[in-house]
Structure 1
Amino acid sequence: MPKRSLRPDTELPPTAALVVPGLAVIAVTYGLARYGYGLYLPQFRTAFGLSAGTAGAVAAGSYLGYCAAAVVASGLVGTGRARRALWVAGGSAALGSLLVAVAWNGWSLAAGALIAGSGAGAATPALVAAVAGTVVLPEQARAQGLVNSGTGAGVVVGGLLVLSIPEAWRWSWAGFAVVALLATAWADRRTRWASVPDGPGGSGLLGPEGRAQIGRLGRPLVAALLAGAGCAGVWTFARDLLTTDGGLSAAVTGLLWCLLGAAGLVGGLSGVLVRRVGLRAAWRGTVVAAAAGTALLGALPGSVVPAALALACFGSAFVALSGVLIAWGAHRTPDVAAAAAAILFIGLTVGQAVGSVALGLATGAAGAPAAFLAAAALLVVSAAAAEPREGP
């Protein structure tokens, strides 16, 4: 039985004691520090004169920073230092958000977005390990899904900020930095950290145990890459599409972004979905729903009701498919669940990085609606990589 440290009490805390602060960490690292770039893209393009291609490249840089942080965090988790991984997550989100807040040109904005977005990469493996070490086994799948739904909560907060103070983006990003540190400290206090590595001989993605898992994650990794490329359309360009092509006001697009985030909270039930219908059906259902939302948004960006339906569909589906990936990785490699989650989320993020660049170029060449239809097609293709009926 692994020894636990850093908490004086002897009883495991209730699930909610970690789920709420864990959700807060995901909310600020994903929903604000990472996806806040897409939310504030219209303001950034105005302030720094960014083209669609440049905007996509900046988003890709933040996604690649995410991947690097995920590798580092996986190594920390694999050597029994998951608490440090959590602080890498919160610290990166805070530092990058602060740099965005004081950005003076496009290059400084890109650097801030890269650092801020990287925090999310460390958050996932750190919190997978935190839940595994703190929550009793029967409750872990549900707890992981609920923590993962924090993305939606963060998106709601970001949308409300844009709605209420659209021009005060610098102060908003400075606030993200403060919240990142507070949420990290809260989650740290509520976690019962393991004093042994995650899994036998675990040493993260770069160690022998981590490398051995990549071959066992081939199918979900391909699925994650394709889905990430398709999801980049909404996360990077949705608000710009609604504003530029759709002609909707800042107030309306802010409300729609809140709806996107609120729908993501429903995706926190991904653990229940997997138990009810299985990995195969859960994956196919969530990516097809995300594709439907993406296609509808690209086709009717100027119509408020269809756009609302599209973003609600996409928001719930994206958070759910992220939760399905966590469950899929744990199913294939149960002894190193945190490393598996890091690998699959890296795949999802590499897909988003490539998708951001490709869709940015496609937007410049053929227009945003066509690029969104291409993104939807990628999501449909990712459904073909679902778990075979006969099992792994």
Structure 2
Amino acid sequence: MASGTGLIAVTYGVVRYGYGLQLPQLAAEFALSAPAAGAVAAGGFAAYCVSALAAQRLLARGSARTVLWLAAAVAAVGALVVATAGSAPVLALGVLVAGSAAGAASPAMVVAVASTVRGPRVARAQAVVNAGTGVGVAVTGAAVLAAPQVWRPVWFGAAAAALLTAAAVDRLARWPAAGPRPVDGATTGMLRPLLAAGVAGVGSAAVWTFGRDLVTTTGGLPGRTTAALWVLLGAAAVLGALSGDAVRLLGLRRAWALTVALTAAGTAALALAPGAVLVAAVAGAAFGGAYTAMSGVLIAWGSALRPQAAGEATAVLFVALTAGQALGAVATGALAGRVGAPAAFGVSAAVLLAAAGVLPARVRSSAGV
């Protein structure tokens, strides 16, 4: 669990969401406009989808360890490209490659946890590993806080950490036997969670891509203050480790509605008062914890529908979530250029509320539906 949490921290919190966290520095150094920054983020999200679909196919063939090393390799390569980028196109290429790593990391870790942890602790273990996103965001935020203009070493460190954590996971996990196995259609009967994940992705892209830029540029908060706020967001995201218990106690329907509604509330609060430190702190913490818990609920939702193919189900649902984020990043950047960032964030919050209304069907399962 510790090594898996570390891998998720690197592939999500650093090399995927680190771009948005460091966007003020990157935009200044590479002269990126809001639409251009959104397009770069969308490219990373789209690459994630390609990686997750490839992971799904490999998992169906019983190649979970291959998926693990695919995630580590693309994270390391992408991070190195970003770290050495000298122009906007090279930066965009690195973000695209690095952003794809998480698409393979989550499905691989779902399989690793399911085959290693036994009994009722599986759901909690999945949630804890998934909450590694918050650890990565907090670490990246702390690095930005300590040295706001020195962003390249973060990406060099991420490249090394991706390989080291993958090696630890590979050694410690009890991998299932390799070889192809029959799996039902990955999307059969999953229209509802796919729709919910896609709409939630559209709405959540605003904060991950433009959140820090909003409080820095529009809100006028100092760079060190906004970095500290994102450390808080990452620390709160660790609370997503409780998503497994939330599903067990509340059921999938209420857990989904609650986590998505709280994600919307955090987004809306940032839109209303981006220059108020206390509001931004509470909003960021609410968003971080709720979003990570929401993604944990998606894992539980997919596992309930596909108990024998939880990794493949996670890959498909996270593709929908990330495809939505790709669309949301472009739309938010374009909308911000026309009506301003606060209004664009308000629209994103409304989209998230719509996603909260797409609820799991009323059926019973071992996941606590």
The question of 1:71 aligning with 2:44 is answered: no
The question of 1:62 aligning with 2:44 is answered: yes
Q: Deviations over 1:136-186 (max 9, x none)?
A: 132111100000000000000000000001111112211111111111111
Aligned to 1:87: 69
Aligned to 1:362: 335
Percent same amino acid at aligned positions?
Answer: 52
**Letter aligned with residue 174 of structure 1:** F
Shift of 1:215: 2.5
**Letter aligned with residue 157 of structure 2:** G
Shift of 1:214: 0.5
The answer as to whether partners of 1:77 and 1:197 remain within 8 angstroms in 2 is no
Q: SS where residue 27 of structure 1 aligns?
A: helix
Aligned to 2:255: 282
- Relative to structure 2, which stretch is displaced further, 74-83 or 188-197? 188-197
Kindly report which structure 2 residues correspond to 1:104-253, keeping only aligned pairs within 5 A, or say none.
104-196=86-178, 200-202=181-183, 209=184, 212-253=185-226
The question of 1:34 aligning with 2:32 is answered: no
Q: SS where residue 221 of structure 2 aligns?
A: coil
Aligned to 2:78: 96
**Letter aligned with residue 315 of structure 2:** A
Aligned to 2:241: 268
The answer as to whether partners of 1:216 and 1:333 remain within 8 angstroms in 2 is no
Q: Distance in 2 between matches of 1:390 and 1:75?
A: 28
The question of 1:371 aligning with 2:344 is answered: yes
Aligned to 1:8: none
**Letter aligned with residue 182 of structure 2:** G
Go from structure 1 to structure 2 and tell me whether the alpha carbon gap of 1:219 and 1:193 turns closer, same or farther (over 3 Å shift). same
Aligned to 2:322: 349
The question of 1:52 aligning with 2:25 is answered: no
**Letter aligned with residue 3 of structure 2:** P
Go from structure 1 to structure 2 and tell me whether the alpha carbon gap of 1:285 and 1:197 turns closer, same or farther (over 3 Å shift). farther
- Computed over aligned residues only, the root mean square deviation of the Cα atoms, in angstroms, reads 1.1
Q: SS where residue 309 of structure 2 aligns?
A: helix
Q: Deviations over 1:172-214 (max 9, x none)?
A: 211111111111111111111111458x514xxxxxx3xx231
5+ residue gaps in structure 2?
none
Q: SS where residue 195 of structure 1 aligns?
A: coil
The question of 1:317 aligning with 2:290 is answered: yes
Q: SS where residue 245 of structure 2 aligns?
A: helix
Q: Distance in 2 between matches of 1:26 and 1:366?
A: 35
Q: SS where residue 269 of structure 1 aligns?
A: helix
Aligned to 1:14: none
Among candidates 300, 309, 333, match of residue 336 of structure 1 = 309
The question of 1:22 aligning with 2:4 is answered: yes
4+ residue stretches of structure 1 with deviation over 4 A? none
**Letter aligned with residue 43 of structure 1:** Q
Q: Distance in 1 between matches of 2:363 and 2:320?
A: 24
**Letter aligned with residue 116 of structure 1:** A
**Letter aligned with residue 383 of structure 1:** A
Q: Distance in 2 between matches of 1:141 and 1:290?
A: 22
**Letter aligned with residue 38 of structure 2:** G
Q: Provide the aligned length of Structure 1 versus Structure 2.
A: 365
